[in-house]
Amino acid sequence: MSKQLQPGSSRRFSICSIPTPATVQLGIRWFAVWTGLMTTACLVGLPSLPAVAQAGSHPTSKVLEDFSQAQSTPQPQNSSQSSADPVLSIGIVQRFGSESGDEITLQPLTGDRLTLHFETGGQMQTVTASTVKLEIAMEPLAEPQVNERVVLSTHRSFESAEDSANQWRSRGVEVEIAQPRQWQVWAKRDVYRSPLLRRLLFQNLQANGSRSAFLDTQMQQQLPKAAFVANGYRYQRDQVKITTANRRVQVTPSRSDSERRLYGGNLRLQPNAYGTYTLVNEVPIETYLRGVVPHEIGVGAPPTTIEAQAILARTYALRNLRRFAIDNYELCADTQCQVYRGLSGAHPETDRAIAATRSQVLTYQNELVDALYSSTTGGITAPFSDVWNGPDRPYLRAVVDSVQNIWDLSRYSLADEANLRAFIGRTEGFNENGWDVFRWRVESPMTQITADLKEYLTGIQHPLANFITVQQVQVVERSPAGRVQRMDIQTDRGTVELEKDEILRAFYAPNSTLFYMDPIYEAAPETASGTQGPTEELSVQGVQDSQPAESRILKGYVFVGGGLGHGVGMSQTGAYNLGDLGWSHAQILNFYYPGTQLQPLSDAITFWRDPAVPQDLPNAGAESLAPAQ
C-alpha cells in the first residue's frame, strides 16, 4: 500500500371518523398500544386504493419475515459460537434487480460444476451446470401497486441508526433498521401493516414534533423477478442456493464497473426488503478474512500491523452480525461494513497474518469490542460519542496518535478553538506524518455548500429543503478531542442544525469532523461613482482588517483539518508507523484500545451486548451465535 490512500408518487388517504392521535394528543407509547386495539375498528368504508404491499414483500420470504421480527428488539441469548471458524452471510451484490437488465454470471473452477438447489411445487430440486446466469426481468402488474413505509429517521452510519432505533423503541414504537441505499429506521412493517395505521402513526409523530419522519410511498407498475438460466433452460425462482464440490465460485456481474471475483464457500440468491434481490456469500470467517485484510490495510504494511488488522477485522465481523437482519444476511461487502472482495485479492503476506492470529479476537470484560478503525485520525482518535449518538465505549477514547509526548489533552482541550488551530498546525511528531490526508485544506464556494445542503435535506425530506440561499455556516460545539459536534447553517428559510457524522453526509468538503472553518470574502463592487467596479478576492484577514462588513461579500468557506473518516479506534496509517517501530500486534491494539484483552474465540465470550441496556440485568441485550451447522 503506497502513501497515497485510495480513498413514486404519493396518494391521499382519507381516515374515517375515529379520533386520530393528533386530535386526542395520545403519547407515542400509548399510540403503539392504541393502534393494536383499533386495527379492525376502522377498516370499513375506506376509499379504494391500488393493492398495497409492504415494501419488499415476496410470497416465498417467510424466513425473511422471521429475521425481521427477531430484529425488532435485541433478544437475550447466552449460547456463544462454539465453532472456531463460524460461517458468515455476506451480501456481495446487495440490490440485484435495481436496474433493468441486471445479470450475474456464475462459474466453477476448472474441473468442477455448479449445483443449484431450489424449490419446485413444494419439493426441493437440484440442477448441475458448468455456467449459470442470474437474470432479472421486469414483470408488469395488472394493477399499480403501492409500496409504503414510515421512515422514522435517516442516517450516514449503522451506529447512528441503531441508536435512533433504540430511542424510538423507548418511546413505544416498534422498529427495524434498513439500508435501501442509506441507513434508515423504519416503523416495523408487520406492526404498521395497513395504510390507516401508517398514517395514524405518522400524524402522531408530527403532532409530537418529529421532523425526521416521513411516509415513503412509491407507486409500482412493474416488479423485478429473478430467474436463472442453466443448461439452456430458464427457471424463475425467488430463492436458489449455489454450491460446488471445492467451495469456490467465480462471480461476474454485468455492470461495467464490476469485475470477476472468486468467492469461497457457497452462494444463495434471495429477496430483500426493498423489492429486489441479494446475492449472499456463505463463507467461514477465516476464509472471509482473506478477502478483507489485504483491501483494508494493504499487503505492504508491516507484518505486525497486518496481524492487528486481521484481529480487528475478525472481531468487527462477529460483533456486527445483526446489521442486515431485515434482509436475512449479516454483513455487506463495502465500507459500510468491511471491504470484502473474495479470494481474488488474497495475498501470502495477509494470509500469513490471518493464520498467525487464527481465532484471536479483542475483548473488553469478556465481550467483543466495537472494533472500529479508520484510515487516518488526524493525530487524535475520537471517542465513540464524538461521532455517533449512544453510550460511550470505555476503550474507545481520545488517544493522541503519537509515541512522543506531543500534546497534553488534559491541559489543552481541543474543544477550545485556539487550541484546535494550534493542534492542526502541527505536522511533525505524529504516527501519521507523511500521509496525504493527515492534514488537508479544502475551499468550498457558497454554490457548492448550497448544492450540498439542498441535496442532503431533500434526501431526508427535511422541512427546510426548499431554502434558496445559505447565509452563514458556523461551528457551535466541538468535543474535547476536537471533533465538531454541531454546526448551524443559517438559510433564508431558517436554521439547519447538523450533528456529528451527519456533517460529513451533508457537505463534500470536510474529510473528517476534525476541522475548523474560515470564511472567504470578496470585496464588494465599487459603487461610489455610480458605476460597478471590478471585484477583488481578499483573504479573510485582509477583509477583516481593511474592509467594513458592509463592503464585503461572503464567497464560501475554507475547511482546514486532519484525518479521513470517523477517526474512531485504530488509525490504519498510524499503525503502519507503530509496526515500523517494531511494535507487536498486541502493543498496537492496546495503544488504540486501552484496557482491552486478546482472547481466543470461545463460548465464554459475548459477541454483542446492547450498550444502552443496564449491565446489571442478567443477559440483558446479549447476543451470541448458535454453533455453525
Q: Calculate ∠ Cα 377-337-500, nearest 5°.
A: 45
pLDDT at 239: 96
pLDDT at 45: 33
CB 527 within 8 A of CB 405: no
CB 340 within 8 A of CB 92: yes
The C-alpha R_g of the chain, in whole angstroms, comes to 27
Query: Computed from CA positions of residues 540, 542, 547, 551, in that sequence, does the dihedral angle turn out positive or negative?
Result: negative
pLDDT at 375: 96
CB 484 within 8 A of CB 515: yes
Nearest Cα neighbor of 90 from 289, 253, 239 is 289
CB 93 within 8 A of CB 104: yes
Which residue numbers in the chain have pLDDT < 50?
A: 1-27, 29-82, 533-536, 538, 541-545, 625-629
Q: Give the DSSP H or E segment for 283.
A: strand 277-284
For residues 278, 222, 122 and 627, what is the CA-based torsion angle, rounded to 10 degrees?
20
Instruction: Note the pTM of the prediction, 2 decimals.
Output: 0.84
pLDDT at 610: 84
Nearest Cα neighbor of 343 from 333, 330, 331 is 333
Nearest Cα neighbor of 421 from 562, 556, 555, 569 is 562
pLDDT at 525: 75
**Each residue of 92-103: pLDDT tens digit?**
999 999 887 899
The C-alpha atoms of residue 500 and residue 388 are separated, in whole angstroms, by 6
Query: DSSP assignment, residue 501?
Result: T
If phi > 0 it is left, if psi is from -120 to 50 it is alpha, else beta; for residue 108 that is beta
CB 11 within 8 A of CB 220: no
Domain coordinates of the chain in residue numbers? 440-561
The C-alpha atoms of residue 30 and residue 23 are separated, in whole angstroms, by 14
SS3 for 376-440 is ECCCECCCHHHHCCCCCCCCCCCCECCCCCCCCCCCCCCCCHHHHHHHHHCCCCCCCCCCCCCCE
Nearest Cα neighbor of 232 from 107, 130, 91 is 130
Q: Give the DSSP H or E segment for 13.
A: none
**Each residue of 12-49: pLDDT tens digit?**
233 233 233 333 333 454 444 444 444 433 332 333 33
Residues 6+ apart with CB under 8 A from 73: 169, 174
| One-letter identity of residue 407 | W
